[in-house]
Amino acid sequence: MNQLKLPRIIIGAMRLGSWGAHLSKNDFNLFVNGCLDMGLTAFDHADIYGDYTSEAQFGELLKENSSLRSQLHLITKCGIKMMAENRPDHHIKSYDSSANHIISSVETSLKNLSTDYIDVLLIHRPDYLMEPDEIAKSFTELQNQGKVLHFGVSNFTPSQFELLNASFELVTNQVEISLLKRDALDDGTLDQCMRYGIQPMAWSPLKGGAMFTEMADPGVIRVTKVGDALCEKYNCELDTLLYAWLLRHPAHILPVTGSSKLERIVAAKKALDITMDREDWYRLLEAAAGNEVA
């Protein structure tokens, strides 16, 4: 059975390096240690982040302090082949979930992250050419070798999840969920996670920051208006409220933060102290949808 136990909030690494904040080594160190001090020990990576450079940036920390490893949960992903200077053999952006690619990608991630095991490996996006039994075989091999403890998927439809899960027991589906991106509430993704007793992970929980930058977006205007009143009631800022909305769902969603700023991670964590009233949850949903939802 699935014995994966992760903290309720996961720290996303996508924007920490060259795809975002370009944190210096010192700031990177401070950020990661600040998260650990808050008990937020799970970090979400992917082979491709920073054009295949971000895992190694994180690995530098472990190289210098290998005792950190036992305090961490490392999640990473494979299966997207991007064109990049350091991947001259990729001639087109494509998906590859072949056993060869999964295994070689894991070997590279282990090396880059300076670790001998990954806690959770996700197939990053569904591959039209995926062969469930071949994937299951590579997962079993990696698990038997102790190189990966658990396996999941990302951006899979419920039927794609079902197809692979029939060959290998998956522990999560990481999908985009926020008040402004609510497909998972209706397309069966969250129902399926509840049925299997696994926790979905929500990427872009603040819609990639759009909640704070797309001020002319009608959905943002409506959510901000309703949110401002609720922030007073719950004594928090809007970002905390948006996390609390996700956390209130009975699927026990694990939000994956995107910020590179510790104070914004503190704001995310504060949401763990809020239990949103049922009607307030619906108030925000109605505001996001722009119409009655019941």
Ligand X SMILES: NC(=O)c1ccc[n+]([C@@H]2O[C@H](COP(=O)([O-])OP(=O)(O)OC[C@H]3O[C@@H](n4cnc5c(N)ncnc54)[C@H](OP(=O)(O)O)[C@@H]3O)[C@@H](O)[C@H]2O)c1
Residue 258 Cβ, how far from ligand X at the closest point, in Å? 2
Residues 6+ apart with CB under 8 A from 195: none
**Residues 179 to 238 in contact with ligand X, rule: CB under 6 A:** 203-209, 212
Residues 6+ apart with CB under 8 A from 6: 42, 73, 120, 199, 254
The yes or no reply on residue 261 touching ligand X (CB under 6 A) is yes
Question: Smaller CB distance to ligand X: residue 66 or 171?
Answer: 171
Cβ atoms < 10 Å from Cβ of 282: 14
Residue 267 Cβ, how far from ligand X at the closest point, in Å? 6
The yes or no reply on residue 12 touching ligand X (CB under 6 A) is yes
Identify any residues that bridge with 8 across adjacent strands, giving them in sequence order: none
Residues tagged active-site: 49
- CA dist 2 and 240 (Å) reads 30
The yes or no reply on residue 17 touching ligand X (CB under 6 A) is no
Question: Smaller CB distance to ligand X: residue 34 or 141?
Answer: 34
Question: Smaller CB distance to ligand X: residue 144 or 160?
Answer: 160
Q: Applying CB under 6 A, which of residues 174, 189, 192, 199 lies at the interface with ligand X? A: 174
Residue 84 phi, psi (nearest 5): -155, 155
Residue 140 Cβ, how far from ligand X at the closest point, in Å? 23
Segment contacting ligand X by CB under 6 A, of 54-62, 65-73, 219-227, 257-265: 257-265
Question: Smaller CB distance to ligand X: residue 225 or 294?
Answer: 225
Q: Judging by DSSP bridges, how do beta strands 73-78 and 42-44 pair with one another?
A: parallel
Q: Render 70-117 in DSSP notation, one character per residue.
A: GG-EEEEEE-EE--BTTBTT--S-EE---HHHHHHHHHHHHHHHT-S-
- CA dist 30 and 257 (Å) reads 17
Q: Applying CB under 6 A, which of residues 9, 14, 102, 190 lies at the interface with ligand X? A: 14
Q: Applying CB under 6 A, which of residues 4, 21, 56, 231 lies at the interface with ligand X? A: 21
| Contact residues for ligand X, defined by CB under 6 A | 12-15, 21, 44, 124, 154-155, 174, 203-209, 212, 239, 256-261, 264
